[in-house]
């Protein structure tokens, strides 16, 4: 069979690219750049407790001392002197959409957030630039003792000590340069506490929208799922495209208690001027389970590797992820897992698609420490190259320090199989449809892990429309 090339249409971003001009009348913002004065100003603005102010200033020192690693995609286009680290809409956070300013409310309406809340969510947090503008949790969920609020409120309420005991303990400012940056200028994000034995039947969602050009978003998500509890948390993010660099350096710290379960799903669709340098980390206690579901579609450059520390006996982790790198995108994604206790297990299924000059890199590490007797890890990654101007790399590392472990890894890189196309065509399917079916099927393992509404959104996002064959 002759080898033909398939043209796959780019993701349609019109849904996400609308924007409103932000006037100074409606928004408060700090100067661009990063100085101790700006950090103090943010701290003052947010009425931080003393320990938080000290953490910010210490983090800034670490940021200034730390260099960049030599291993990832270039971030030369990111100049911190041009990034505004704090932009606050001049409105209070509300639990009623009617109280949210019209432009902002319209933004979230167009993104379908209030509708989703009514239909399928137990609670919603909506962040616009640096602050949450809406936060609400269903009454029956709140009555179970579930806490879902913004971090700032939690810092000054009855959970202040809990925040202090966990905030940036899992991800410390020393981890890397952008963790330090986050520590210095973080703002917004959500705090979730699920009490012992409570199962939250439907998901909570936080949606992060960065509207201001040349701004950074540094939200902090802190989730504690106590012993025997169960939660599905969904994170969505998007931004309109600008000609200047935007930066996202959020942090997600997840604590999963004994025999608890947390599923953390992300559909990331930042605009293609975004540097997405995000850090996510979870610590899992005995018998607990962490499930990551991750779809990475947006950003100009991404560094994203959710890390799981399996800290208690029998703790488990599953990671299911897909990355779609198109024109102008360099998406470096993957995961890290540390087996730190006996009989821990990790199962990873990662996929990537590269097209139209896009670069996707799968990067991972599986570390099995000496005390992780009986640990098992299985990693599978597959990459699809849709043309010969794109690039796809696979860089998986394994470090095993006990005899009593079973670690397996497999990876494949290739193109759409001619044999599979031929088979489908022999069943009466057109070549165009056959190719579309194969590419859609490639992403299927992620979409089937999402609630229906989000699977539909993801499929819309991919919009792998086959326009015919060329070449």
Partner 1 sequence: MNATQQANNLVVNHLPGQTWNWLKMNDARVAVDASAAPLEAQITVPEGLREGGALVPIGGGMGPDYDRWIQQDAAVKAYETAEGQKVAEPLKLTYALAGGKTAAAACRIDAKAGSELTVIMDFAGQPEAQPGTAAFSTKLHLAAGAAVTLVQIHRSGAGQRILNDVGAVLEENAKFNVIHLVMDGASTYVGCQADLKGDQSSFNADVAYLVQNEDLLDTNYVALHHGKKTESRIISAGVLRDRAEKLFRGTIDFKKGAAGSVGNEKEDVMLMDDTVVNKTIPLILCAEEDVEGNHGATIGKLDDALLFYMESRGIDVDDIYEMIAKSKLEAASRLIPDQAVREDVQDYIEAHQVQKQ
Does position 409 interact with partner 1 (CB under 8 A)? The reply is yes
- Compare residues 322 and 385 and give the one whose CB is closer to partner 1: 385
Number of other residues whose CB lies within 10 A of the CB of residue 2:
4
Cβ burial, residue 294 (10 Å; 0-12/13-18/19+): buried
Residue 19: CB minimum distance to partner 1, A:
35
Whether 333 contacts 302, CB under 8 Å: yes
Binding mask 127-166 for partner 1 (x = CB under 8 A): ----------------------------------------
| Options 386, 434, 438, 462; binder of partner 1; rule CB under 8 A | 386
- Compare residues 398 and 425 and give the one whose CB is closer to partner 1: 398
Report the candidate in 23, 62, 27, 20 with the shortest Cα–Cα distance to residue 185. Answer: 62
- Compare residues 1 and 102 and give the one whose CB is closer to partner 1: 1
Q: How far apart are the first and last CA of the chain?
A: 14
Q: DSSP labels for 403-420?
A: SSEEEEEEEEEE---HHH
Helix, coil or strand: residue 290: strand
- Site residues for partner 1, window 24-53 (CB under 8 A)? none
- Compare residues 15 and 407 and give the one whose CB is closer to partner 1: 407
Strands 289-296, 316-325: pairing is parallel
Stretch that binds partner 1, among 43-51, 220-228, 279-287, 380-388 (CB under 8 A): 380-388
Return the bridge partners of 382, or none: 351, 412
Does position 358 interact with partner 1 (CB under 8 A)? The reply is no
* Helices 452-462 and 113-120, packing angle to 10 deg: 150
Binding mask 48-87 for partner 1 (x = CB under 8 A): ---------------------xxx----------------
| Dist. CA 76–CA 131, nearest whole Å | 28
Stretch that binds partner 1, among 35-43, 57-65, 93-101, 405-413 (CB under 8 A): 405-413
H helix or E strand, kind and range, residue 95 = none
| Dist. CA 105–CA 98, nearest whole Å | 8
Stretch that binds partner 1, among 142-150, 202-210, 254-262, 393-401 (CB under 8 A): 393-401
Does position 370 interact with partner 1 (CB under 8 A)? The reply is yes
| Dist. CA 170–CA 245, nearest whole Å | 28
| Dist. CA 401–CA 155, nearest whole Å | 40
- Site residues for partner 1, window 232-291 (CB under 8 A)? none
Does position 95 interact with partner 1 (CB under 8 A)? The reply is no
- Compare residues 165 and 406 and give the one whose CB is closer to partner 1: 406
| Total chain residues near partner 1 (CB under 8 A) | 40
- Compare residues 17 and 387 and give the one whose CB is closer to partner 1: 387
- Compare residues 164 and 371 and give the one whose CB is closer to partner 1: 371
Place of tokens 């799968």: 362
Whether 408 contacts 379, CB under 8 Å: yes
Does position 393 interact with partner 1 (CB under 8 A)? The reply is yes
**188 phi and psi angles, rounded to 5 deg:** 80, -170
Does position 5 interact with partner 1 (CB under 8 A)? The reply is yes
Binding mask 412-441 for partner 1 (x = CB under 8 A): xxxx--------------------------
Tell me 434's DSSP state.
Answer: H
Does position 397 interact with partner 1 (CB under 8 A)? The reply is yes
Residue 310: CB minimum distance to partner 1, A:
16
Does position 406 interact with partner 1 (CB under 8 A)? The reply is yes
Report the candidate in 17, 30, 24, 58 with the shortest Cα–Cα distance to residue 187. Answer: 30
Does position 394 interact with partner 1 (CB under 8 A)? The reply is yes
Report the interface residues with partner 1, using CB under 8 A. 3, 5, 69-71, 361, 363, 365, 370, 383, 385-388, 390-415
């Amino acid at each position: 069979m002759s080898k033909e090339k398939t043209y796959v249409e780019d993701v349609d971003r019109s849904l996400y690219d609308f924007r409103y001009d932000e006037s100074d009348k409606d928004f408060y913002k700090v100067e661009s750049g990063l100085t101790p004065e700006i950090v103090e100003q943010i701290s003052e603005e947010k009425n931080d407790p003393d320990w938080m102010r000290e953490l910010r200033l210490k983090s800034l020192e670490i940021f200034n001392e730390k260099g960049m690693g030599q291993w990832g995609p270039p971030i030369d286009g990111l100049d911190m002197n041009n990034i505004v680290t704090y932009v606050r809409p001049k409105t209070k956070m509300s639990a009623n959409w009617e109280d949210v300013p019209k432009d902002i409310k319209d933004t979230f309406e167009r993104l379908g957030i209030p509708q989703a809340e009514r239909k399928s969510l137990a609670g919603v947090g909506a962040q616009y630039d640096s602050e949450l503008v809406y936060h609400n949790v269903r009454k029956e969920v709140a009555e179970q003792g579930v806490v879902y609020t913004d971090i700032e409120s939690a810092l000054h309420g009855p959970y202040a000590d809990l925040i202090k005991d966990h905030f940036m303990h899992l991800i410390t400012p020393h981890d890397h340069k952008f963790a330090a940056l986050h520590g210095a200028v973080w703002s917004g994000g959500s705090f979730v506490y699920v009490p012992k034995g409570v199962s939250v039947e439907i998901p909570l969602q936080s949606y992060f929208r960065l509207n201001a050009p040349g701004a950074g978003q540094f939200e902090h998500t802190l989730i504690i799922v106590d012993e025997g509890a169960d939660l599905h948390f969904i994170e969505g993010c998007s931004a309109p495209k600008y000609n200047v660099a935007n930066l996202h350096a959020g942090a997600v710290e997840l604590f999963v208690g004994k025999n608890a379960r947390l599923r953390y799903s992300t559909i990331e669709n930042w605009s293609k001027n975004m540097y997405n340098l995000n850090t996510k980390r979870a610590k899992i206690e005995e018998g607990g389970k962490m499930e990551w579901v991750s779809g990475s579609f947006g950003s100009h450059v991404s560094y994203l590797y959710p890390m799981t520390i399996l800290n208690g006996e029998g703790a488990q982790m599953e990671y299911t992820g897909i990355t779609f790198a198109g024109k102008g995108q360099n998406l470096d994604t993957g995961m890290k897992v540390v087996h730190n206790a006996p009989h821990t297990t990790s199962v990873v299924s990662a996929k990537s698609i590269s097209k139209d000059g896009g670069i996707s890199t799968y990067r991972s590490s599986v570390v099995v420490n000496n005390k992780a007797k009986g640990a098992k890890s299985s990693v599978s990654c597959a990459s699809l190259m849709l043309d010969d101007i794109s690039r796809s790399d696979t860089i998986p590392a394994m470090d095993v320090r006990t005899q009593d472990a079973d670690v397996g890894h497999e990876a494949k890189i290739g193109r759409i199989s001619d044999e599979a196309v031929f088979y489908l065509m022999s069943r009466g399917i057109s070549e165009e449809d056959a190719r579309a079916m194969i590419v859609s099927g490639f992403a299927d393992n992620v979409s089937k892990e999402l609630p229906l509404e989000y699977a539909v959104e993801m499929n819309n996002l991919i919009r792998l429309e086959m326009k015919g064959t060329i070449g």
